[in-house]
Chain A
Amino acid sequence: MLRSLLISNCFLWASWNCAAQGNYEIQVYGADTVPPKNLMVELHSNYTVSGQAKILDGVYPTNHQEHETLELTQGINDWAEIGFYVFTSEQDGHGVQWVGDHIRPRVRAPDQWHLPVGLSVSTEIGYQRAVYSPDTWTWEIRPIIDKALGRWYFAFNPALERTWHGPDVNMGLGFSPGVKVSYDFTREISGGLEYYADYGQLGAFDSLRQQQQQIFAVTDLNVSPRWEINFGVGLGPTSATDHLIVKGIIGRRFNWSRQKQAIE
């Protein structure tokens, strides 16, 4: 469980017209879900060291933005959970601002199916203010496939995104895959790479320089099943991508069923 909780989802907002990038919650999902009667509380802290420096179409620049995202995920049953996000941003000249909220239900293939890989699907619906993302209402569906093989861990999130309100409302589905490969160096320390991308409209990808692509070197600290700690540094090589981001995640799982656990 710990392992899958450590590796959650990706959230790089992208507006294909405006090249604004929302680095609020940067993770690759693992397939497992939070157990019932458990609440996962995570704080995502991301700082854009080098990003978009100008205001474009009324959207604040990402350069030197500090993002704090609160994520609450409640387990519903053995195969479903629901997540809720509160996004905030802090930046010189703009102060601390509420950015938006998302809700994210997720279901996974039950263990009884005995699939050779972990498999789940999440869908995410939310609002973000136009000064942070010109596409204010968005929807995403994210298949999640993962597999642990000895010390290696692989996760693949081929996400599809749709704008419901904003400049990209007529752009159809966008393709935003996320990939994670990591290796357990010790019982407590894992390290690896995470890749996030937004290729643009499905069937009509943007040119490479207009695509968002980011590679993070990350480490996960498995200090306790209750805690989740992740840290990473990401580079964006294309012109449409923020060039340097530092991210951190700290999470704590709360089990409300502890009193009955022995006979449950």
Chain B
Amino acid sequence: MITRRRFATLAGIAAGSSLLPHPVSAAGAADITLQIAPFTVEASPRHSFNTVAYNGQVPGPLLRMKQGQPQTVEIYNRTNDPEVFHWHGLFLPSNIDGAMEEGTPMIAPGASVRYSLTPQPAGFRWYHTHTFAGKNLTKAQYGGLHGFLLIEPLQNPAPYDREVFLALHDWGGHFLPSDDGYMNPTYDVSTINGKMLGFGEPVRVKAGERVMIHTLNSSPTEVHWIALAGHSFDVVALDGNSVPQPQTISMLRLAPAERVSAIVEMKNPGNWILGEVRKHIQAAGLGTVIEYAGAAGRPVWTQPQNLIWSYSQFAASSQRQISSDVIPTRDEVSRIELTFDSKFEGHGNEELWRINGKSYPQTDEPILKTGRRYRLIMKNLSMDDHPMHLHRHTFEIRQVDNSPEMRGLMKDVVLVPSRTTAEVEFVANNPGNTLFHCHQQDHMDRGFMMVFRYA
């Protein structure tokens, strides 16, 4: 199938190639260099996947940048396919944000590109490819092109001893009929940092440490639930943004592209499993071992019996808890109503996804006025949950899953449950084309995206 999105990709390559002759000539070495090249992920000795990765590793290298400190990043595409590099969660210009729908030029095969950027805002972000996969469940986000990006704040009190970064991912995807009668991706293997449970290096800790665990769900399509046996999580940030009400909870839920930053007090010596709460996903490999110094014995897992999570527990309970960097309240908020549904394409196919009855690139292009506050009212009529992502901006979750009105919870991805309405607000403070889409790769590929334009 060649979709309009695919057409846009090809058009973008042409534009990008002409704009960025190979090699890019620039003065001096870049602060960061990334190579996109074929790579084999060995999830276990019996489970290997030929994919594409950044700098020969999955996840890609941890990039640390200082908030507001200009950086140069050079990216080489050593593959046979055009690529684009998305800075997820950053406030960047459209031409380098990393989505061809916004106007970012593609990086042609064999070509390179150099970006100069000033990273904002501070927090746990990530980077990943933003290409089209279609029915090839090894490409785009189905593969290994993702990595951690930490924008360190100018002042970091750092109430923890060390940081650990975990990426949850699914591999070996194939389409199967689902219970709702459509073809949906399912996976053979799930990993943390590219390794199945029992095959990666354990996370080694010491009793008494306070470990900041930054968890990213880089899965192309799957929501994941994780718990750490014998421990709890002090959740301090969602999608890299501090939450008004930190909570101590037993498990985390992460929709595709979501991040959770939580401090774990290592006060229960032993060997423990941090893994998927759902048995069949953990059995497919999603887990890692937390190993205390000097501990012996097999890692222990304690099986929770329920899945527990809500956004609202982290929202402000009073006006005082809303930090000063949260969007200020304004009397006038422009409402943008968005209805999500799908168009039937046969039981042997995926649905064609629609926003207000249209699939990308036919979707509406709302015009934003700089400085104005907007409320997106997302009515999900479909039978699927959708992790909705707004590029280049942060939004405030106001209501989700029939919750009361919330304040102060700032994110860039929100999971909109099936047959519910979610509402978020954001200020149009970053002029330029801005992509809004479901972060499920198969849904994006089937039209679930739209572009906001600035007046």
Contact = CB atoms under 8 A, between A and B. Distances in A.
A148 B277 CA distance: 33
A152 B346 contact: yes
B348 A111 contact: no
B369 interface: no
B70 interface: no
Interface string B339-354: 0000011111100000
Given A263-B277, A264-B278, A184 B346 contact: yes
B346 A151 contact: yes
A222 interface: yes
A150 B347 CA distance: 6
B278 A148 contact: no
Contacts of A1: 177-179, 181
Contacts of B305: 263
A187 B344 contact: yes
Given A150-B346, A152-B348, A264-B278, A114 B174 contact: yes
Interface in B254-284: 277-280
B348 A225 contact: no
A264 to B, nearest CB: 6
Given A150-B348, A150-B349, A262-B306, A225 B278 contact: no
B24 interface: no
A114 B171 CA distance: 13
A65 interface: no
A195 interface: no
A2 interface: yes
A104 to B, nearest CB: 22
A140 B177 CA distance: 28
A263 B348 contact: no
B346 A2 contact: no
Contact of B345 (A111, A112, A150): A150
B256 to A, nearest CB: 19
Interface string A224-261: 01000000000000000000000000000000000000
Contacts of B278: 262-264
A151 B179 contact: no
A153 interface: yes
A64 interface: no
B325 interface: no
B303 A148 contact: no
A194 interface: no
Interface string A29-43: 000100000000000
A170 interface: no
A204 interface: no
B332 interface: no
B309 to A, nearest CB: 11
Interface in B274-313: 277-280, 303-307
A186 interface: yes
A1 B349 CA distance: 14
Contact of A263 (B174, B176, B303): B303
Nearest to B1: A150
Contacts of B177: 1-4, 32, 148
Given A2-B179, A3-B177, A263-B306, A111 B186 contact: yes
B183 interface: yes
A151 B279 contact: no
A226 to B, nearest CB: 9
Nearest to B186: A111
A112 B181 contact: no
A2 B348 CA distance: 12
Interface string B300-334: 00011111000000000000000000000000000
B303 A3 contact: no
A142 to B, nearest CB: 21
B46 to A, nearest CB: 12
B348 A149 contact: yes
Nearest to A190: B347
A264 B349 contact: no
Most-contacted residue by chain A among B180, B181, B277, B349 (CB, 10 A): B181
Nearest to A253: B179
B174 A225 contact: no
A111 B344 contact: no
Interface in B7-50: none
B279 A264 contact: yes
Contacts of B348: 3, 147-153, 184
Interface in B82-114: none
A153 B348 CA distance: 7
Contacts of B303: 263
Contacts of A187: 181, 344
A190 B181 CA distance: 12
A153 B347 contact: yes
B347 A184 contact: yes
Contacts of B365: none
B188 interface: yes
A190 to B, nearest CB: 8
Most-contacted residue by chain B among A111, A147, A153, A184 (CB, 10 A): A184
Contacts of B280: 264
Contacts of A184: 344, 346-348
B41 to A, nearest CB: 17
Contacts of B188: 112
Interface of A: 1-4, 32, 111-112, 114, 147-153, 184, 186-187, 190, 222, 225, 262-264
Interface of B: 174, 176-181, 183, 186, 188, 277-280, 303-307, 344-349
Given A187-B181, A225-B180, 7 more contacts: A3-B181, A148-B177, A150-B349, A152-B346, A153-B347, A263-B279, A263-B304
13 contacts: A2-B180, A3-B181, A111-B174, A111-B186, A150-B348, A153-B348, A184-B347, A190-B347, A222-B347, A225-B180, A263-B278, A263-B279, A264-B280
Question: Nearest 9 pairs between A and B by C-beta?
Answer: A148-B348, A151-B346, A150-B346, A187-B344, A150-B349, A225-B179, A184-B346, A2-B181, A3-B347
